[in-house]
Amino acid sequence: MKALVCEQPGTFRFEERDAPVSPGADWVPVDISHVGICGTDYHIFEGKHPYLRYPRVMGHELSGYVAEDAGAFAKGDLVIVNPYIACGTCRACRRGKPNCCYSIGVLGVHRDGGMCERIYVPRDNLYPAAGLEPFEAAMVEFLAIGAHAVRRSEIAAGDRVLIVGVGPIGLGTALFARLLGAEVHLLDANRTRLEMIAGKFGFDSTMTINDGKDAILAHTQGDGFDAVFDATGNVAAIEAGFDYVAHGGTYVLVSVVTDTVSFADPEFHKREMKLVGSRNATREDFETVVAALKSGEIDTSAVRTHAMPLDELPEQFGELLHNRDTVIKAIVEVA
């Protein structure tokens, strides 16, 4: 079996491996079809991921075909892979929150992922993808992170929403906030990327951090936004985001940083602000995304800006990495 291995930061190599063996009962072999490239993969290649050990087969945004009959799945069924392998027994899992399992293992991060021909996945982590194109099925996971963040925020139609950071996760969050009827504004450090996103998808306004706080809040007549979502991965941006939240509003931290985040408690309490962490996604969020894709509410052709076969990824990865202002989602075809 061919696998693409990130041997160490900055280095890929192809490796021939034995066909994988089932780790246990209820694990299903899946022949990988397509893999989405995300910020996690860039961080792994750059040596910036805090939880990763090399060498590693990357890839956690996955679609594939079931390789043998398994329960409700028949051989050849197109499936979406939920890459969050949960223990099923910890308190979070028992309370229906496997996305934040105490001992979660994410494919492509904590264990080898899908940049290879076949993997085994727990049957409960496979979702049917009938009616989707294989490349669309590989987009579901990253969009589900945005859908989960929106669900966690409890926003409603008519709410004014600010998305800070419009990488793929921020874009997914913005799309699902808009599907709920929210008024959605985008804030990013990069004007080029903002103009590309606005050109493809629209939104109520786009702003850069250079516009300044007063200009940003002017879009709300100075009141602030009912919900602010941070998808920057930048501690300074996260701390600045507290100032954009309206009284009675909600601040959702979608991105993760390793630093300590500080904020002014008097302002936090004065606004009776709700601070929410959002991690990964659940089956419900995956199903929300699948429904939106099937209905055509999200234009997947606009989301997929780059495509290539797995054999060409090592040569093209550097270009993707250094031109991320023009990349929304790169999709790799494995088979």
- 3-state percent breakdown (helix, strand, coil) of the chain, nearest 5: 35, 30, 35
Do 120 and 153 fall into the same domain?
no
Q: By residue range, what is the domain housing residue 30?
A: 2-138+299-333
Residue 202 lies in a domain: yes
116 DSSP assignment: B
Do 62 and 172 fall into the same domain?
no
Do 7 and 134 fall into the same domain?
yes
The enclosing domain of 24 has a CATH number of: 3.90.180.10
For tokens 């060409």, the residue is 312
Of the candidates 16, 118, 115, 5, the one whose C-alpha atom is nearest the C-alpha of residue 55 is: 5
What pLDDT, in 10s, does the model give residues 140-179? 999 999 999 999 999 999 999 999 999 999 999 999 999 9
How far, CA to CA in Å, does 106 sit from each of 16, 32, 81, 287, 289?
Answer: 23, 16, 11, 19, 20
Residue-level pLDDT, tens digit, the chain, 335 residues:
999 999 999 999 999 999 999 998 999 999 999 999 998 999 999 998 877 899 999 999 999 999 999 999 999 999 999 999 999 999 999 999 999 999 999 999 999 999 999 999 999 999 999 999 999 999 999 999 999 999 999 999 999 999 999 999 999 999 999 999 999 999 999 999 999 999 999 999 999 999 999 999 999 999 999 999 999 999 999 999 999 999 999 999 999 888 899 999 999 999 999 999 999 999 999 999 999 999 999 999 999 999 999 999 999 999 999 888 899 999 999 98
Q: How wide is the angle at C-alpha 206 spanned by C-alphas 179 and 278, nearest 5°?
A: 50
114 DSSP assignment: S
Q: Which helix (H) or strand (E) holds 18?
A: none
| Residue 293 structure tokens | 């894709």
Give the global pTM: 0.96
Which residues have C-beta within 8 Å of that of residue 237, sequence separation ≥ 6? 164, 165, 189, 209, 230
Do 156 and 127 fall into the same domain?
no
Do 59 and 183 fall into the same domain?
no
What pLDDT, in 10s, does the model give residues 271-317? 999 999 999 999 999 999 999 999 999 999 999 999 999 999 999 99
